[in-house]
Structure formats: structure tokens, C-alpha cells
Structure 1
Amino acid sequence: MALRLRQLQVVHRHGDRTPLLNIFKGSVNARSEEEETLLWGRQLPTLTQLALLRSKFSVDMGSEAQGSFQQRPFGYLTTRGIEQMTERGDRLRGFCKNEELQLDLVTPEQVQIFSNAYTRTQLSVQALLGGMLRDQPQLNPQVSVLPPEKDIINTYPVFPEIMQMKADLEKDNAEFAAREHEMAPIKQELMKLFPAVDSGQVPFTWLTAADYFVCRRAHMAPYIPGTEVHGDATEKHLGFRFHQFYSHRMILKLVAGRLMHNVLREMQKALWDHSESKKIVIYSGHDVSLLSVLRTMDAEIANDISFWPEYSSALALELLEDENGKFFVRVRLNGEILAIGDAPSGLCSPDRFQDMVSDHIGSLGD
């Protein structure tokens, strides 16, 4: 059966980044805090590199878009991250060629790019576009950053009740509570060993703890003595926590609902051959964005608690048409076809795909 790619929607994680915060903040040794800042500052792209990256694909912040959340150099895309995202774009360009989606025939009106207010997600998709559209001078789409109340990628600020639901789940779910109890000694140890937490500068979170280990391992940065032994357990526990969170129907709906409703809308417009239908839609987000989206489509990989999307991971949602005009949906993660729902081969009808997703996030009016 010959299938042609009629529409490509991509949800991707940003590239390699620096830690979210200075773990030595508030340290009794002020030099340690300064050295940490210098360490991560060396990983950042130069201003010239940034200007080049931003020169073709501008960012439209909108009149009331939210500001950025990072304090340089923390939480920023690294030079390595730019390289990763450019390579991801190169792969997508090759994929479109193989699937006969001719980029030279795509018009600017048929491309839509979304990011949230984080600088790292904006730069990531700009780098991705640089690779994907390097041979297409006629395509220089803007990166749209929606106002906070309309954000479809990072909805945590829109729905503050998500955090309370998470806290309630930790207490009320027996398995969750038991696992937290098991991890309590490691938590207490890390709270003492992380200067920023021990000094009261920042609260302890498992996300921050895992972030510390991931970033240091990626850049072979030295660990605070006594912490390295807890790395594997911390990262596995974070995976368990988000598996539990996104198994909760309302949390999943609030986190992924807006994005997936947009995916379904764009898919439907393409099926109807609507005048405003898009050929390419890209959503630049985070690891937790991918985790939640995978859960909405019953992706088999989402059941694996040990799974965590690597930097620059890209989920491709393909709308395909056969020689008889029949449409199918297929999903790939980093080029590998995923089993979704009751479609182990990865192929399902658009109606079935919509039903699977809607079963998790409700209809648009819910």
C-alpha cells in the first residue's frame, strides 16, 4: 500500500540546556556559586551565533505574551543543544523528501510554528527550522508565542489547580505514598548536600534533583561529593512520578488538552482540504510535553516508567493518504514508528485516532 504524507505535525523537546538553577546558590563558599555560573556560561552560544539563528525565523511574542522565565546562564539552550536541534531539522527534511512531502511546493501560509515563552524552546525550534528548511528560502515562518491565557504548550500557569491535584495524588494514592516514603532518605540526603536547598534559597523538588544529575552527566561536570550515588534512583523516581501524574485523567486533560485539540483541528482541516489547512505544524516544548502527548494517544511506550524523552526528541504525527484517497494516521518518535492504542503497526484511521485522544482529553467543549 503506497502512502503519501499529506500533513506533518511535530511535537518536540528542546535541545540540551544548562541546569534550571544554580545549585550552589546560598552556599557558604561564595566562590562555588560564582564558579557554577562560569561553568555553565561557557556552554552557551555566542551572541553572534544567536543573532544568526534568529535572523531568519523571527519570534512573534504577541501584544500580551508572557516574558521569559530564565536567568542567564541557567535554563538556557547550549551550543550543543543548537547542534542537536539543527540535526533534528536535517532529519525531518530528509523524512519529508522520503515521504514525498515536497517542501519546495509548501507555501508560507501552510506552515505554523508554536513555542512557549521559554527562550530555550524558541531557540530550539529556530535551530530545527534552520535544518529542516535550509534549502527553502521562500519559507521563513514566524515562531508564534501565545499570550499566557492562550498558551497550548505550557499550561501549568493557566491551570494552577494542576499542582494541587499532583499534591493530592501524592497523599491519596497508596502506591505513590509508599514510593515517596521509600525515597525519603535519599530526599533528606540531597536536601543537605544541595547548598541551594540546604540554605533555604530554593525548595527541594524531584525535578530539580533529576535536572542536577542529567545536566552534569551530559557535560561531564563534577558532582557535589556524596550526590552521585543517588543519580539513578532520583531519575527513575521522577519517571515514576510523571507516569502517575499523567495517568490521572484531569491532570492529563489540563496539561495536554489544548495542544492535542489543536492537533486534531489541524488534522481535520487537512482532511476537509480547508483553505486554511496546514502542511506543517510544529510545537516546541519540553520533555513533559512529550510525555503527556504520548499518554493521550495510548502510545505503548508511555506505559514504560523508565522511558524519558531525550533532548531534541521529536514526535511526528503523520496524516497519510493511500492511492484510493483513504487517510491514515501514523506516529513516530525520533523516526521509529510507535504502537498506539489498538494499532500495533502504528497505522489507524483519523476517526479512531481522534476517538483515542478525545477519550483522554474530552471534546473541545468539555
Structure 2
Amino acid sequence: MKAVGIRFRTLPTILLTSRLLFSLLPSYATALSYSTQSSKSDGISEVSTCSHSYSYRTVQVQVVHRHGDRTPITPLKNEEYWKNQLVPEELLERVAAGTMVLRNGDTDNNNVKNQLEVHAAAGKGPFGKLTKLGLLGMIQVGTSLREELEESTNWSEVTNAAKAIATTMVSSSPSIGSEANHNDDGYLDQNRGLQQHGRIKLTPNDIKVYSTDFDRTIQSVQGLLLGFFPDANDDETTISIDCRDTTCWMIPDPQPRQTQEQKVLEQALARRPHILEKEALLRPLAVRCTRALLPLLGDGAFGVSFGVDESDDDNEDIQVLSWIQLTEITKCLRTRDMLPDSITEDDQEALSAHTAWKWFQSLRSPRLAHIAMRSFTQNIIRTMEQRDQEPPLIVYSGHDSSLIGLMCALHLEQPSVWPEYGAVLKLELLEKRKEHNNDALDGGEAPVNGNGSEKQHVDDNDDIEHVLRFFLNGQLLRSTWNDIPRDEISLKEFAHLASTVGNEATTNTT
């Protein structure tokens, strides 16, 4: 495969792009907020116990984000209105500069999508596409992520990052340039500075990007990269966006399903008594909202099928939109203050809550989570285990189903709200180092910790462990493997559980 170099965009381009987007955005832009908070763990670098303390340094970060604001996937009548919400083609070309999309069978003409592999959720025409508001939001997500990783994260000295550290650290900390931080040749000892200050400046060479092969996810991560690298230099630098087979493993509902077992299991899980009972209770809401939306629906609206177990029910006496369709249509309309009068905001929230509940009910099945998300979790684990050969930042551009599927497969706490546009699930791989108090050790002068007692680093491998922490939009999600809530889990245990729990087929759907 031949990579064609494209000059990475510079700061003036970023500013121009942002101004263009702001000028194109309607007044409702401020109504949609993007979750870009920094995680609460970054300031925690040391935890003490009565006999020893632990220090934490980040080794690798993997980020799974949902795409930005989009038009409805289900076709609606007012096509011209939705076309006007899309990002102008000229602006998309500017945003794509400096990136290269990788697909199976690529040649130099690598941006030709295989039209034989199109998921129904990709949408047709102007539907299912990233909006101007969505692009601006993803640029903000990238900016916030950069600030968090470069300004608030304590990185380990073993981080496999490009060694473009000296300039950043000299400018950010006057003490780093002191004589004590220089080697015998008078040059800045980058590793020593990193060890003391834990700061690095990430470059386009320090990131690996995956995306499902949807226009909106590719454009979303291009927007994220635009915000992450606003001051990239003028050298020829290309960031690859790997879309090779990703639509098969980055979402739990590929079309067609990867196995017949998954298809049958989804149907069985959806027909459990407690699911059917709740669906019956909420059916009047689905019927009422469908009727309210009928005047807005375009041709083929009822033929769109996507999501976990969203197949048609032959026993329906009237035609009703699926829960995911009702949720996504009303969400797009609500963002723009276009909900029909008979559908309230409470109705829209009830639709969204039920769809999320239904998806979690299915994907919480250990077997379904395993077979639906196995390849994704294996890629995450492999990248962490091979951290010496992998970059420090891995980004996956996906969907709400990607985040929900992973949270279930990784046995994380269930969030209180549906992952909004631009939501970020962050997996931190940390080096956890045990530090013993000096009174338990013989000889030598030890550093002093925060409470005045002396401590000493122990470099024995038995005192270094790699652990994971998980965050959704900056909020810690505890690991719940074996029904034990934990703030962190060792990489070794995590890899074992992810590969074994749900590994055996079963007919039990309770």
C-alpha cells in the first residue's frame, strides 16, 4: 500500500474552518453540549497505605468516541432542510487534509468505498450524515482531549511516544532547563524530565486511528484530529484512518451478523417475559409517537432496520416505527426545536431511556457481549499488551452502539444517560508502582513524600503492575467483573476475564 503524503493543515486553516462553521451554524447550536471534561484521575498520582504507597503514571490511552451530531437515519420528507444542515463539500475537503482513509483492496485511489458493504444505519442521501454542528463539536472534543493528555496527564517514562518532549517541557517548566536536568553532554535529558514532570507533546506519529466505514464517523474523527493538532508543522504528515473491516467488529449490530448464533440469541433475549411486559406497557407511547411523526416520514421510512434486535414483528396489528427509529428521529427534531406538538420532551426522553434499557438488557448477556464485541476487545487488549510497539494514543471513531457494546463487554457500570453525540469512553493503561517507606529499607537516602516521611522507588518487577481505569465523559466507570465494583483492574486479570467470560455457547437467556 502506498501512502501519499498530504501537508497537514496549519493553524490559520483551523481558525478559518472554525469561523466558517460558526457562520454556518443556526441559533440552536448552543442547545447541544458536548461532553469534553477531563477525567478526574489525572491529578491522582499517588495512593498511600499503612505500609507503602503507590504511584501511577499513564502508559497508554485508548479513546472510543461517538460521532458528532447527525441528520436522522430514517428518511424524512423535508430533504432540502436536512441537506442544508450538512457540512459543505469544500469544508469537508479542508478537514480531510492530512488524513488518509484505509480500506480493503486499497490502491492509490484509496477513497473509493466498497458499495457492496453498506450498513443500513449509514443512511441515504442527506440522511445519517454529519452536520455542521456535529463537526464543530468534534473539533472541540479534539481540543479538550489534547489539553487533557498534554497538560493534565502524568505519563510514564516508558511511554512509547515520539521524543519531541524537550521543547514542550522547557517552555512549560523553567526548572526543567536547569543544570540538574542535563546529561553529561549538556543536552536536556528528556527521560529525566519526563520522569519528574510526566508531560509529553503528542505528534501525528503518536496516534493510531480506527473508524467504522461511515461518512459521519470518518468525518467526525477528522474533526477531532483538527482540534487535537492545531499547530502541526508544515512537514508532510499523514494520519491513516483504518476502516478495513471495522464496520464488522466496532459495532454489535453488523449487517449481516457475523454468526447465526448471534442472530438467534438476540431474538431470544428480546423475547424474555420481562422485556415483553415492559414493551407492552410502553406500546401506547410508540403508537402515539409514530402517528405524530407520520406526516414527516419520507419514502421507505418503515423499511429502515438497524440496531440490536430491531427486526420486524409479524404480530404487529399496525405499523409502528422501531424504538431506535423513534429515538433517533425525535432526538434530531428536539435538537432543532422541531418536535411535533403532540410529542413532549418527556416523551422523547422516555423513548431514549427505553431504547438504552433494551440494548443494555440484551448486551449484558455475557455470551452476546462476547460474540458481538470479541474482536473489539481483543484489539484493545492486544494493543495494550504490545504497548512497546504501539503509540500512546489509540482513537476509535464509532457509534452509541460501539460505546454501549463495549461497556457491556468490558463489564463496566451502566451510565445514567445515553451516550450523547461526541461522548468519549476513555481506557487508561497505568503503570502502578509500589513505593516503600524508608524505615522498612536499609541504607541510602530516600525521597520525601507529601506527609514528610521518606519513601523510595522500588524497581523490582514484582512491585510494578499495569492496571486499567475507565471513564465516560470524564466520570469514572467502575469495573464490575464477578459483581465486584472496582476503580481499577489489572491488565492481566482484565485480559483473562475478557477472553473467558461468555466464551462458551449456552442456551440460557435469563
Identity %: 24
Query: Which residue does 2:251 correspond to in 1?
Result: 154
Higher deviation after alignment, 307-316 or 67-76: 67-76
Q: Cα distance 1:72–1:269, how it changes in 2: closer, same or farther (>3 A)?
A: same
Amino acid across the alignment from 1:352? E
Q: Cα distance 1:14–1:199, how it changes in 2: closer, same or farther (>3 A)?
A: closer
Query: Which residue does 2:57 correspond to in 1?
Result: 4
Aligned counterpart in structure 1 of residue 421 of structure 2, from 286, 295, 311: 311
Amino acid across the alignment from 1:293? L
Q: Cα distance 1:152–1:94, how it changes in 2: closer, same or farther (>3 A)?
A: same
Q: Secondary structure of 1:194's match?
A: helix
Distance 2:203 2:501 in 1: 34
What are the superposed Cα offsets for residues 240-274 of structure 1, whole Å, 9 maximum, x if unpaired? 2111111222321232211111000011111xx3x
Does the 8 Å CA contact 1:330/1:348 hold for their aligned counterparts?
A: yes
1:199 shift after superposition: 7.7
Query: Which residue does 1:30 correspond to in 2?
Result: none
Query: Which residue does 1:252 correspond to in 2?
Result: 369
Aligned counterpart in structure 2 of residue 338 of structure 1, from 465, 477, 483: 477
Aligned counterpart in structure 2 of residue 170 of structure 1, from 261, 270, 288: 270
Where do 5+ consecutive residues of structure 1 fail to align?
A: 24-32
Q: Secondary structure of 1:91's match?
A: helix
Distance 2:300 2:284 in 1: 19
Q: Cα distance 1:201–1:316, how it changes in 2: closer, same or farther (>3 A)?
A: closer
1:284 shift after superposition: 0.8
Query: Which residue does 1:26 correspond to in 2?
Result: none
Q: Secondary structure of 2:386's match?
A: helix
1:15 shift after superposition: 0.9
Which structure has the larger Rg? 2
Aligned counterpart in structure 1 of residue 83 of structure 2, from 20, 23, 41: 41
Q: Secondary structure of 1:58's match?
A: strand
Query: Which residue does 1:76 correspond to in 2?
Result: 129
Query: Which residue does 2:492 correspond to in 1?
Result: 351
1:269 aligned to 2:379? no
Does the 8 Å CA contact 2:290/2:326 hold for their aligned counterparts?
A: no
Q: Aligned runs of 1:207-222 on 2, under 5 Å?
A: 207-220=324-337, 222=338
Distance 1:82 1:198 in 2: 25
1:94 aligned to 2:235? no
What are the superposed Cα offsets for residues 7-37 of structure 1, whole Å, 9 maximum, x if unpaired? 11111111111111223xxxxxxxxx2xx21
Does the 8 Å CA contact 2:75/2:301 hold for their aligned counterparts?
A: no
1:281 aligned to 2:394? yes
Amino acid across the alignment from 2:466? F
Distance 2:265 2:59 in 1: 39
Q: Which structure: greater helix fraction?
A: 1
Does the 8 Å CA contact 2:137/2:422 hold for their aligned counterparts?
A: yes
Query: Which residue does 1:29 correspond to in 2?
Result: none
1:344 shift after superposition: 5.1
Higher deviation after alignment, 1-10 or 160-169: 160-169
Q: Cα distance 1:16–1:201, how it changes in 2: closer, same or farther (>3 A)?
A: closer
Distance 2:486 2:274 in 1: 33
Does the 8 Å CA contact 2:368/2:502 hold for their aligned counterparts?
A: no
Distance 1:310 1:297 in 2: 20
Where do 5+ consecutive residues of structure 2 fail to align?
A: 1-45, 47-54, 107-112, 156-160, 166-201, 304-320, 434-458, 505-510
Amino acid across the alignment from 1:94? E
Query: Which residue does 1:143 correspond to in 2?
Result: 241
Query: Which residue does 1:180 correspond to in 2?
Result: 279
Does the 8 Å CA contact 1:61/1:146 hold for their aligned counterparts?
A: yes
Distance 1:199 1:79 in 2: 25
Distance 1:268 1:230 in 2: 45
Aligned counterpart in structure 1 of residue 213 of structure 2, from 107, 111, 117: 117
Amino acid across the alignment from 2:489? C
Aligned counterpart in structure 2 of residue 241 of structure 1, from 351, 355, 358: 358
Aligned counterpart in structure 2 of residue 128 of structure 1, from 224, 231, 254: 224
Aligned residues between the structures: 342
Amino acid across the alignment from 2:153? E
Does the 8 Å CA contact 2:425/2:471 hold for their aligned counterparts?
A: yes
> TM-score, structure 1 length as denominator?
0.84
1:231 aligned to 2:231? no
What are the superposed Cα offsets for residues 206-263 of structure 1, whole Å, 9 maximum, x if unpaired? 100001111111122x223433363232222112211111122232123221111100
Distance 1:250 1:361 in 2: 4
What are the superposed Cα offsets for residues 53-98 of structure 1, whole Å, 9 maximum, x if unpaired? 1111221223276445332311111111111111111111112112
Amino acid across the alignment from 1:335? G
Query: Which residue does 2:95 correspond to in 1?
Result: 53
Amino acid across the alignment from 1:154? I
Amino acid across the alignment from 1:202? F
Distance 1:197 1:179 in 2: 26
Distance 2:264 2:283 in 1: 20
Higher deviation after alignment, 318-327 or 192-201: 192-201
Higher deviation after alignment, 182-191 or 126-135: 182-191
> TM-score, structure 2 length as denominator?
0.61
Q: Cα distance 1:160–1:191, how it changes in 2: closer, same or farther (>3 A)?
A: farther
Q: Cα distance 1:160–1:186, how it changes in 2: closer, same or farther (>3 A)?
A: farther
Distance 1:345 1:253 in 2: 21
Q: Secondary structure of 2:427's match?
A: strand
Aligned counterpart in structure 2 of residue 189 of structure 1, from 265, 288, 298: 288
Q: Secondary structure of 1:50's match?
A: helix
